[in-house]
Amino acid sequence: MYMAVVNKGFKKRDDHGDHHKPLPPGQTEVIQWPVLSYAPTPHIPTDTWSLTIDGEVNKPVTLDWKQFNKLPMTTLLTDIHCVTRWSRLGMKWEGVSLDELIMQAGGLKEDAKFLIATTFEGYTTNLPVQDILNDQAMVALKAHDEPLSPDHGGPARLFVPHLYLWKSAKWIKTLTFTKEDHPGFWEVNGYNNYGDPWLEQRYSDDY
Amino acid sequence: MTTISNNQWVEATVIDIATESPEIKTFKLKPTTLLPHVAGQHYELRLTGDDGYQAARLYSAAPVSDDPTVLCLSIQLVPTGEVTPYVHGNLAVGDTVEVRGPFGRFFVWQPDNPAPVLLIGGGSGVIPLVAMLRAHEKSKSTAKMHLIYSARTFDDVIYKDMLLDMANTTITLTSKTPKDWMGESGRINAALLAKILADFPTLPTCYICGMSPFVSAMNELLQSLGIPLSSIKTERFG
């Protein structure tokens, strides 16, 4: 018979963080902003920075820093959830919506089903197209009105706040739309292919 | 006993608790299933309250036992936290907790890797690095390995029995030093790193672990000393 583990006297700490909003299961609120990356932080000068949108789009395009910054900016007020069990609530993020970037590339072809994001480091992550349309995602430049520091993915990172944060690839370089799914770096290394914090899809076997 | 997926929670009994420093205790756990790991990996520890409330946290595997049936975690007390005050204050020998793992495939060291290695740890960030040092010592590896450990005071230095006598370990104390202290003092700077790097036959692979500002500072120092980004592995917390 399996006897469930009970740690007598262990309880939720209500003074731990500010629980005005519900947190996804297994998450704890943090006030500061932890930095987690698989690789050390690269420093990418904006004069060598570029963003390419290619694959299943009508008019593949590469934007330099100046061109990118002339595009209309949008703001998202949102929470972020990291698979390592911290969440930061009520953040303000600013950047260019993926809808706008897709428009810059002449729109999606009918077969575009997945987005493969590649960083300056060569790290990749994969997302279903329906998760990045309709103002759900942006290439972010600022958080809380400050330019993103290199540690947090600056000068620009992908930002898809409704999924665990590893999907929001730092140091974004290329957005490639594909017909088929290509699991990215963490996804082939034991993490969940989709990463919904509300369903606790942390690891490969968490369905 | 058989091994299982690292995704499955396993019951584990606390068999020993040792105080490493004012803030860090080592818990020896006996899981009902073997969960073997590679140096540098971590495990998740889960507590369940009387009302069913659960909380889990990740901790590095600690290098303090050669018994493969024992899982050791060195855990730093975070007084404002939810899990560590209970772990430090309430958990006793004979109690049960749940664990799963191991996790992490990048910040690890394998004995068959011939590259020389420089380990740089700040505070409790030294835990996975000492695990690598210990794995190196127990292996047949002839690769050069050196640890630089930055601690605040002598009391904060953990695994003293293991580290104080090791020729390939440099400890620096950043806050205050005992009168008879023979090690380094002050923060790790370019001069100290350059001195230790000079002893390496070829540029080493570098592992940095600690609080985020520490890791950023070390990363920049190493790059300024000519270590390419591709040879630097980092793990951060806080």
ipTM for the complex shown? 0.82
Q: Which among A8, A35, A41 is the nearest to B50, CB-wise?
A: A8
Contacts of B182 (CB under 8 A, 6+ apart): none
Instruction: Please tell me the distance from the alpha carbon of residue B60 to that of residue B209, in angstroms, as a whole number.
Output: 11
Lowest mean per-residue pLDDT among A11-25, A45-59, A88-102, B25-39:
A11-25
pTM over 0.80: no
pLDDT above 90 as % of chain A = 51
Interface test with B, best of A6, A10, A82 (most B CBs within 10 A): A10
Instruction: Please tell me the distance from the alpha carbon of residue A13 to that of residue B225, in angstroms, as a whole number.
Output: 45
Mean pLDDT on A186-205 = 85
Mean pLDDT on A87-112 = 91
pLDDT for residue A19 is more than 50 = no
Angle, helix B190-197 to helix B212-224, in steps of 10 degrees = 60
Residue B188: what pLDDT?
Answer: 97
Query: Is A188 in the B-facing interface, judged by CB distances under 8 Å?
Result: no
Asked if A37's CB is within 8 angstroms of B238's CB, the reply is no
Contacts of B151 (CB under 8 A, 6+ apart): B123, B126, B157, B158, B171, B172, B173, B174
Residue A1: what pLDDT?
Answer: 43
Q: How do A157-159 and A138-143 pair as beta strands? A: antiparallel
Closest residue of A to B86, CA-based? A10
Asked if A6's CB is within 8 angstroms of B86's CB, the reply is no
Mean pLDDT on B154-170 = 94
The counts of H helices and E strands in chain A are 2, 11
Instruction: Please tell me the distance from the alpha carbon of residue B40 to that of residue B148, in angstroms, as a whole number.
Output: 16
Which residues of chain A make contact with B58, given a CB cutoff of 8 A? Answer: 84-85
Query: Is B224 in the A-facing interface, judged by CB distances under 8 Å?
Result: no
Interface test with A, best of B7, B38, B87, B222 (most A CBs within 10 A): B7
CB B74 within 8 A of CB B128: no
CB B119 within 8 A of CB B147: yes
> If pLDDT is split at 50, 70 and 90, which confidence band does B79 have?
confident
> If pLDDT is split at 50, 70 and 90, which confidence band does B198 have?
very high
Tell me which residue has tokens 């969960």: B35
> If pLDDT is split at 50, 70 and 90, which confidence band does B119 have?
very high
pLDDT for residue A96 is more than 90 = yes
Mean pLDDT on A88-113 = 91
Q: Please report, for residues A26, A90, A93, A156, A161, the alpha-carbon distance to residue A78 in angstroms, rounded to integers and kept in the order given.
A: 19, 5, 8, 18, 7
